[in-house]
Structure 1
Amino acid sequence: MRDYVMLWNAVALEMNRRDHTGRMNAKNNRGPTASSRALAIIHLAMHDAFFGLTGRPPISSALAGLSGAINPYSNVAPHAPQPWSADNEGAAVSGAAAATMTALYPDFRTLVDDMLRGFQFGAGNPAFDFGFKVGAAIVDSRKSDGSSDSGGVDPIDAYWRHREDPTDFTQGLLGPRWGAVKLFSAAAIPPQNAHPAPRSAAYNNAHDEVRVKGSKNPTSGTPGVTFSQRSPFETIVGFYWAYDGASQIGTPPRLYNQIVRDIIARNVTGSDRAAASARLLALINVAMGDAGIAAWYWKYRYQLWRPILGIREYDNSFWHNRDIVSYHLHRRCDPWWIPLGAPRTNEPGKRSFTPPFPAYPSGHATFGAACFEMTRRFFGVAPNAADNLAFNFVSDELDGRAIHEDGSYRALHRRHYDSLLQAMFDNSVSRVFLGVHWRFDGIDESVKNPGDILTDSSDVGGVPIGRAIAKNIFENRMTKSAAAPGVVTPINLPPVP
């Protein structure tokens, strides 16, 4: 029997890939924020259409994410449920996918039409019409969720405030008001402690690390501070997890969906496979939808600069709004420092860049932790336990076809992970190796290896936010959030000495 949710998931990921043509300049759902929202809506619709059919066979799996009754997320009742059959299952899921994808990705509706022609059902089929109405209802329920609000937030008056990449003029800011979008399922935006204060010991340690590990020039580091140069392994990790909206690559939520597809294929077989796909893919995408909202909420409250500014402007003479002059240059300051950068894959001749939004917390770390923690919980792993959910995955950034900025092809790299906890860790620190994040943007400095994530109680960085969102949504069984859209108010931290 066909797994229609998995088929339509592949179409959604293809739309994400085609929609991004470089520097997150997508027409339909730009960047990780809007694309995570779109994926959440699409997978909620397929989930509700799938589980809204009546009389479907009982689910026998012992998987934690499928145990007990599974209630649809949305209000399915007004749309007369259809009886379950294999044909009706495919038709209902396809109707839900068609309604959401054509609304969210109008530029790529031919992909939907081509799929439907292959399935030989469409309008007039009662199960398809049921799924279509479910999808349309979910799209309609999100029309006033705040995602279309424009404008910005008040800038913090501090020298460490985020500004655009000085090597990428006119990049602007992505999503200043995204933190005010209505949550999908999380009860609230999780707490986030302040990042280390600039010039504190923890901040300086992170500064010294990224200055050498994330530099485009491998010899660039802080004089008198020992951090080894970025290794070939670390460079691989940086590129493997990138997915920075580059041409033909898409955004981070696409990457994490690709990995979960491999996890499902390895760990679920038999009659429960379709139900597992419907449930887990909805859970991870709803979690990432809320992770994007939470990460961007805190990004624009703290407004912390990226390494390209923090390293170039460390010296007192670069402080804005202060009458400070200097003759000597602080040893931690390099006004010409350039990061390895978020790769402009498949756009030869165009330079890598720093993403156009504040550093803290890391979106990659938040999205990845939400997705992988949700997957761990679905397969029955306790929050404080290690997992053995292994996977093999070839990243589109290193698939043998991806073109580097110098015009060369990057070699195909087949990568294995022993656990999702290991993947969560590498995904977070990968941003340091590209020079676009401080380590604490993803995880606290006390987290030295994947196992330390399980005991980290710092509430520093994106990993704790993502894990908290996954825990909340999983334990409330993905009920609809009652939380109203928030207001993003900048936090003016104490001045730097």
Structure 2
Amino acid sequence: MHQRSVRRSLALAAAPALALSAALTVPTSAATTQQVDVALEWYDVTADTITAAGAPTQVTNNRTWAIGWVAATRALLRTPSSGRAQDYREAALAGAVHETLVTLVPARKAQLDQSLSTTLARIPDGTAESAGLAAGRKQAQTVLASRAEDGLDPASVNAPFTPPPAGPGIWQPTPPTYSPATQYGNRSAKPFLLTKPAQFRPGPPPAVGSDRYLRDLAEVQATGAFDSTTRTQAQTDTATFWLGSSYVLYTAPLRVALAESARKALVERAKLVALFHVASVDTQIATSDTKYAYQSWRPITAIRATDDPDWTPLHTTPAHPDYPSGHNTYSGAAEQVLTSLVGGRTAKPYTIGSPSAPGVTRTYTGWHQLTTENVDARVWSGIHTRTADTAGVTLGRQVAANALREADRLFR
């Protein structure tokens, strides 16, 4: 345990960084004294750590969040009934997330140690602080051990996949790069709360040549083409805004939900973050299971093979099968968790940005519109059929609902 003088000096050194994030502090009086929201503080530490040195695979980063915040929740649920409970809780949350991050993102250890010192400098020395810190670290070590060799490291996630022979409806690598398939290994990974990756696998996509298939393909061909004459500028803007990583795009909305839950118990707020990421991990496992079970070809392959050999989508097609859309399974899961745990609407409008649309922001008052825009966006990008999108939303909601039902198994 650091001595008070050491921790105070480290806190002062970190003060400029804290001052840059006004969302982390709220005035407690007319004086300059400020109280830091430890949940938001360590939310931002987690997000910054993964942004700076996270894994190249999205699901691996969601896994890091899930482990750290499940461990924090478990430690908070075991808060002693006597003593300085709040001191214990704050130290426990910081200890759990810090231990997880220094283990999984060791390149950021110096920054993480400084963040921990900053948090501990605010907590009075004593048994509550030391016990909370130890409890958080212990729970992190326990959860890390339980997830060892779970198949969610980048190499396992992108295990090699050999496409079957080309044929109608069968996925093949897509132009312009014809890159090898990605995310195949997800379907063999260990879920957090699914009984098996195929637990909620939807039925197959529409048969090639069926009415629904033809309607889907005609819509993508018309509105998703690079040189579309029917897609509006507003639709192009929506497609571009939602083009990037779902993990990145949903980090801000989840933070909004965490901030709006400030009056809830710290354990409930930690549980919100934990379950969001547990659901997202399980959803990505279920998504890859379904994608590679059906191996459905992408619109660019279908359109070039049957109608227009030069057709090109607005955005480059990702290197995995069409059905279901991974962006939309993620959106469905996110909406399910946020609506269930914090309600469908926010107390006030919130604004988010997108790395794929620099300088552009969008404002929302809830979570459902994010899902609706994701469904449309993937069609207007020319990279998914609408059926793949709507099936993805349903799958994500089902997997997330399962995570919420089974959550107690995580926190025992």
Is the 8 Å Cα contact of residues 354 and 360 (structure 2) preserved in structure 1? no
CA–CA distance in structure 2, aligned partners of residues 421 and 396 of structure 1:
18
CA–CA distance in structure 2, aligned partners of residues 114 and 358 of structure 1:
43
Equivalence for 1:274: 266
Aligned with 1:392: secondary structure?
Answer: strand
- Superposed displacement of residue 184, structure 1: 0.4
Aligned with 1:339: secondary structure?
Answer: coil
Equivalence for 1:462: 392
Report the AA paired with residue 31 of structure 1. Answer: T
Q: Name the CA shift for 1:187/1:391 in 2 (closer, same or farther; >3 Å).
A: farther
- Superposed displacement of residue 254, structure 1: 3.1
- Are residues 1:53 and 2:79 paired? yes
Aligned with 1:394: secondary structure?
Answer: strand
CA–CA distance in structure 1, aligned partners of residues 78 and 107 of structure 2:
29
Report the AA paired with residue 328 of structure 2. Answer: A
Is the 8 Å Cα contact of residues 29 and 38 (structure 1) preserved in structure 2? no
- Superposed displacement of residue 84, structure 1: 5.3
**Of 321, 336, 339, which aligns to 2:313?**
339
Report the AA paired with residue 361 of structure 2. Answer: H
**Of 36, 42, 45, which aligns to 1:2?**
36
Aligned with 2:409: secondary structure?
Answer: coil
Report the AA paired with residue 131 of structure 1. Answer: G
Equivalence for 1:199: 209
- Superposed displacement of residue 468, structure 1: 0.8
Higher relative contact order structure (alpha carbons within 8 Å, sequence separation ≥ 6): 1
4+ residue stretches of structure 1 with deviation over 4 A?
none
Report the AA paired with residue 194 of structure 1. Answer: P
Equivalence for 2:231: 230
TM-score, with normalisation over the residues of structure 1? 0.68
Aligned with 1:207: secondary structure?
Answer: helix
- Are residues 1:16 and 2:46 paired? no
- Are residues 1:292 and 2:250 paired? no
User: For 1:240-293, what per-residue CA distance to the aligned partner results, in whole angstroms no more than 9, with x for missing partners?
Assistant: 2222xxxxxxx3123223212213434x343x2533321211111111111011
- Superposed displacement of residue 48, structure 1: 1.7
TM-score, with normalisation over the residues of structure 2? 0.80
- Superposed displacement of residue 297, structure 1: 0.8
- Are residues 1:476 and 2:410 paired? no
- Superposed displacement of residue 416, structure 1: 2.2
Q: Name the CA shift for 1:263/1:303 in 2 (closer, same or farther; >3 Å).
A: same
Report the AA paired with residue 290 of structure 2. Answer: W
CA–CA distance in structure 1, aligned partners of residues 84 and 295 of structure 2:
50
Report the AA paired with residue 266 of structure 2. Answer: A
Equivalence for 1:183: 191
Equivalence for 2:58: 32
Instruction: Give the fraction of aligned pairs with identical amino acids, expressed as a percent.
Output: 25
CA–CA distance in structure 2, aligned partners of residues 301 and 478 of structure 1:
30
Equivalence for 1:147: 152
Q: Please, what is the CA RMSD of the aligned residues? A: 2.6
Equivalence for 1:94: 94
CA–CA distance in structure 1, aligned partners of residues 318 and 84 of structure 2:
46
Aligned with 2:364: secondary structure?
Answer: strand
- Are residues 1:134 and 2:139 paired? yes
- Superposed displacement of residue 466, structure 1: 0.9
Aligned with 1:192: secondary structure?
Answer: coil
Which runs of structure 2 are paired with 1:71-470 in the superposition (5 Å)? 85-120=85-120, 125-148=130-153, 149=156, 151-153=159-161, 155-159=163-167, 160-169=169-178, 171-188=179-196, 189-219=199-229, 229-243=230-244, 251-266=245-260, 268-270=261-263, 272=264, 274-314=266-306, 333-341=307-315, 353-379=316-342, 387-389=344-346, 391-397=349-355, 402=358, 411-417=359-365, 419-443=366-390, 461-470=391-400
Higher percent of residues as helix: 2
Q: 5+ unaligned residues in a row in structure 1: which ranges?
A: 20-27, 57-82, 220-228, 244-250, 315-332, 342-352, 382-386, 403-410, 444-460, 482-497
Is the 8 Å Cα contact of residues 327 and 374 (structure 2) preserved in structure 1? yes
Q: Name the CA shift for 1:14/1:396 in 2 (closer, same or farther; >3 Å).
A: farther
Aligned with 1:414: secondary structure?
Answer: strand
Is the 8 Å Cα contact of residues 92 and 129 (structure 1) preserved in structure 2? yes
CA–CA distance in structure 2, aligned partners of residues 111 and 340 of structure 1:
40
Q: 5+ unaligned residues in a row in structure 2: which ranges?
A: 1-34, 124-128
Equivalence for 1:222: none
Residue correspondences, number: 365
CA–CA distance in structure 2, aligned partners of residues 313 and 6 of structure 1:
50
Is the 8 Å Cα contact of residues 99 and 135 (structure 1) preserved in structure 2? yes
User: For 1:38-92, what per-residue CA distance to the aligned partner results, in whole angstroms no more than 9, with x for missing partners?
Assistant: 2222221222222232228xxxxxxxxxxxxxxxxxxxxxxxxxx6532222211
CA–CA distance in structure 1, aligned partners of residues 223 and 266 of structure 2:
43
User: For 1:92-150, what per-residue CA distance to the aligned partner results, in whole angstroms no more than 9, with x for missing partners?
Assistant: 1111111211222223333312312322469x933222211211211111112233446
Aligned with 1:216: secondary structure?
Answer: coil
CA–CA distance in structure 1, aligned partners of residues 402 and 106 of structure 2:
33
Q: Name the CA shift for 1:38/1:428 in 2 (closer, same or farther; >3 Å).
A: farther
- Superposed displacement of residue 394, structure 1: 1.9
- Superposed displacement of residue 478, structure 1: 4.2
